[in-house]
Amino acid sequence: MARRPGAPAGAPGSGVLPASLPLALTNYTVTADAVLSRLTALSNRTDDLPLAARTNALALYLEARQRLLDTDRLLEETLRLRQEAADAPAALAELQQQLATPLSPPSLDLAADAPVTEFEQQLARVEAELAQASKEQEALAQEPQRRTARAAELAQLTAEARAARDRLQQELRTAVPAELDPEVRQALRDRLQSRLQYREAELARYEQELATLNATADLIRVRTDLARRRVTALSQERDQRVDALNRRREQETLEATKRADQARRRASLLNEPWLSRLAATNAVLARERTALAGRLRDALHLLDTTQTNLAAQRASFQGLQARVEAAEEAGISRNYAIGLLLRRQQAALERQGDNTRLAEQQQTLLSTAQILQLSLVDARRELDPLEPYLARLLTTLPAGPDPARQEALAEEARTLLTEQRDLLTRLVRDYDTYLSLLLRVQAALREAATFRKEFAAFLNLRVLWIRSAEPLDPPRPGARPPPSPRSSPRTNGSSRSPFSARGCDSPSSATWP
């Protein structure tokens, strides 16, 4: 069997046990490479080693090697945690410097007359960044609670690992049975030693993780402040981009309305009814786009309000849940003060109202918008391509005596139809944005309604068993307790429910003084 060069058989670290083992080796260590060497040597043996002993030794060696590989992994994790704890002061100083540096105000790097699509793309980018930053902030806000739970778990794991290590040390002090084959004895000892080394590495890893948690506690606080500041900055930038988008959309619709009015005046001067009808259609489309811009603005405001209220409710729930859990641990969960806190939150939740009906209204708006969008898409398809449609339109008109006038009418019709196609294109795009926004609003409202029900159930379950007022006359020390309902003359000692004496059958129908 392979052993460390220069080490005698049976020496610590040699990888080979002595021929006789009356007592356990207390200074014996084993490595994965040494076990692999023994596995290779056992596989190459050609003597008359019994098959059962060979099979047993192979299984023991394989288990020992896997356990030692796991030990190496634990040691690598311990080194990583140790390095993280050592780097914590420098990382904290860098984060504090970032926190002390004020953020530069966001710049709206778009021209005032840029297309609406560019404003929408910029807004979508900021909203995606804000959503990601909000998730990171929520995760960091929950990190102290997670770390507290992990520290308690590490204490339990450390105790269990220490007990397992003590049992393994006791087993290693026990002599290996002499009647076993030497190869099996060697494999048994390697397996026990690999288990012991794994437990020691596990203990070191747990202790280092706890030390790292303590060393990086300030890092989490500063990161939370940075994340909160980033969310605030992104929220402000989002509001600015929403305002810029609304202004640009309103400006574009006003320009379209102005062009439609000018075209209608030109058509009235030409005294052609069919041109007047085209101009009137463009005016209707321009007004529809103006109205749709208002609906988009209202939907964005509703989405903002819903998400803000939901975030506030989640924060209230987390704070209240922490207080209730602390009260339960202290054994005062049915205290009057806890009940008052829960009832105040219950009343605030009732004042905020339910979003279920509002979510159903969004479904009606969705259906109506989809129908309108389909009609606009059909009208836009008729104008593409434009020249064949214009040629068909002109063939239906009577030929006039003045070719120059006919050419002027055709040119005016081309201008009106081009404007109409552009209006339809922008309307279809705006309706796409509106439908996506309505879907987001509906999802947010349903999420808020679901969370409200869960919050209300949490409150109702705990408020039910807490008195709603302080006792009017608290019992004096040494006073006799009131008679029980079974021995009271009111019930005559019967087993009837105490509610039946009040003329009711259940607590819900009882009328209390």
How many CB atoms are closer than 10 A to CB 20? 12
- What is the distance between the alpha carbons of residues 85 and 208, in angstroms, rounded to a whole number? 9
C-alpha angle 98/91/130, rounded to 5°? 50
CA atoms within 13 Å, Cβ hemisphere of 97: 6
Region 18-42: what's the mean pLDDT? 67
- Residues, the chain: 513
DSSP string, 403-440: HHHHHHHHHHHHHHHHHHHHHHHHHHHHHHHHHHHHHH
Q: Which amino acid is at 375?
A: S
Mean pLDDT of the chain: 80
For 154-186, letters b (16+ CB in 10 Å) and e give beebbeebeebbeebeeebeeebeeebebbbbb
- What is the distance between the alpha carbons of residues 386 and 398, in angstroms, rounded to a whole number? 21
The residue whose two tokens read 């004020």 is 102
- What is the distance between the alpha carbons of residues 348 and 313, in angstroms, rounded to a whole number? 10
- What is the distance between the alpha carbons of residues 193 and 171, in angstroms, rounded to a whole number? 10
Residue 479, pLDDT score: 55
Q: Which amino acid is at 41?
A: A
Name the band, by pLDDT with cuts 50, 70 and 90, for residue 229.
Answer: very high
Q: Which amino acid is at 222?
A: V
Identify the CA nearest to 28 among candidates 196, 204, 205: 196
CB 416 within 8 A of CB 263: yes
CB 493 within 8 A of CB 486: yes
CB 343 within 8 A of CB 468: yes
Residue 225, pLDDT score: 93
Instruction: Look at residue 20 and tell me whether its pLDDT is greater than 80.
Output: no
Name the band, by pLDDT with cuts 50, 70 and 90, for residue 59.
Answer: very high
Instruction: Look at residue 22 and tell me whether its pLDDT is greater than 90.
Output: no
Residue 488, pLDDT score: 42
Name the band, by pLDDT with cuts 50, 70 and 90, for residue 401.
Answer: low
Instruction: Look at residue 161 and tell me whether its pLDDT is greater than 60.
Output: yes
105 preceded by a cis bond (ω within 30 of 0): no
DSSP string, 348-402: HHHHH--SHHHHHHHHHHHHHHHHHHHHHHHHHHHTSSHHHHHHHHHHTSPPPS-
Residue 106, pLDDT score: 77
Residue 70, pLDDT score: 94
Region 101-117: what's the mean pLDDT? 81
Residue 219, pLDDT score: 93
Best-predicted range by mean pLDDT (86-100, 231-245, 406-420): 86-100
Residue 7, pLDDT score: 39
Range from 256-265, 339-348, 401-410, 474-483 carrying the lowest mean pLDDT: 474-483
Both tokens assigned to 463:
């408020």
Residue 505, pLDDT score: 43
Kindly state the percentage of the chain with pLDDT values over 90.
24
Give the CA diameter of the chain.
128
- Report how far apart, in Å, the C-alpha atoms of 206 and of each of 167, 202, 370, 387 are: 19, 6, 58, 78
pLDDT tens across 376-385, in order?
Answer: 999 888 888 8
CB 293 within 8 A of CB 246: yes
Phi, psi of 414 (to 5 degrees): -60, -40
Query: Considering Cα of 327, then 332, then 337, then 339, what sign does the dihedral take?
Result: positive
Instruction: Look at residue 392 and tell me whether its pLDDT is greater than 60.
Output: yes
Both tokens assigned to 280:
């009137």
How many CB atoms are closer than 10 A to CB 492? 10
Residue 504, pLDDT score: 41
Residue 110, pLDDT score: 78
Residue 77, pLDDT score: 95
Instruction: Look at residue 13 and tell me whether its pLDDT is greater than 50.
Output: no
pLDDT tens across 176-228, in order?
Answer: 777 788 888 889 989 999 999 999 999 999 999 999 999 999 999 999 999 99
pLDDT tens across 460-510, in order?
Answer: 887 766 666 655 555 555 656 555 444 444 444 444 444 343 344 443 333
CB 114 within 8 A of CB 184: no
Residue 204, pLDDT score: 94
pTM of the model: 0.61
Residue 400, pLDDT score: 62
Q: Which amino acid is at 69?
A: L
Instruction: Look at residue 150 and tell me whether its pLDDT is greater than 90.
Output: yes
